[in-house]
Amino acid sequence: MAVFTSQQVLLAAIDTIKAAENGFLITQGESGYANSRLVQAYGPEEDLTLWFGTHSKSRKVREIRVNNRVTVTFYDHKEAYYVTVLGTAKVINDVETKMKYWRNNWSTFFPKGPENEDYILIRFEPTRIEIMNMNRDIAPEPYGLLPAVLVREADQWVLTKGEVG
């Protein structure tokens, strides 16, 4: 049986997000179905906050303004492990913040740069992390069926029991 700490799980989640680079941002659609799209994350920051640049008129922005509870999933295909992060998202249109989280390769999508109203940010604050990482023995019993789960309580992450997927 694998034994791991909250800190080990948190570090594995951060490493997975960094290794994956891209993830899937999942929002609640108007139809009632979940909408998933590939996104490039900026972060994670120390508190696991993630940032995403997008078009101000995108469907994801409309959906977040209606329901800010979102899910982001990252998968590292090289090591075959994943992390799913649940939390809340907020649309940010502050020029100084947009410049801070600007990537030069985004100029293809936003040729007028980060100061333009077309470019907007999504700030994602996680409240729950689910992860499975066999290389680090992060796979609770029954082995391979349950993710390790961290829940944010105040300013710390607490290890809890996962559910069968």
Q: Residue 1 falls within a domain, yes or no?
A: no
Q: Find the mean pLDDT for residues 119-136.
A: 91
- How far CA 118 is from CA of 43, 56, 57, 93, in Å, comes to 22, 5, 7, 10
- ∠ CA 49-131-160, rounded to 5°: 90
Q: Find the mean pLDDT for residues 44-60.
A: 93
Kindly report the CATH number assigned to the domain that includes residue 86: 2.30.110.10
Distance of CA 62 to the CA centre of its chain: 18
Indicate the SS3 state at residue 6: helix
Least confident of 65-69, 108-112, 138-142: 138-142
Quote the pLDDT of residue 1. 44
Q: Domain range spanning residue 10?
A: 6-52+59-92+119-160
Q: Residue 110 falls within a domain, yes or no?
A: no
Q: Residue 102 falls within a domain, yes or no?
A: no
Q: Which residues of 28-48 are buried (b: 16+ CB within 10 A; e: fewer)?
A: bbeeeeeebeebebbbbeeeb
Q: How many domains does the chain have?
A: 1
Q: Residue 109 falls within a domain, yes or no?
A: no
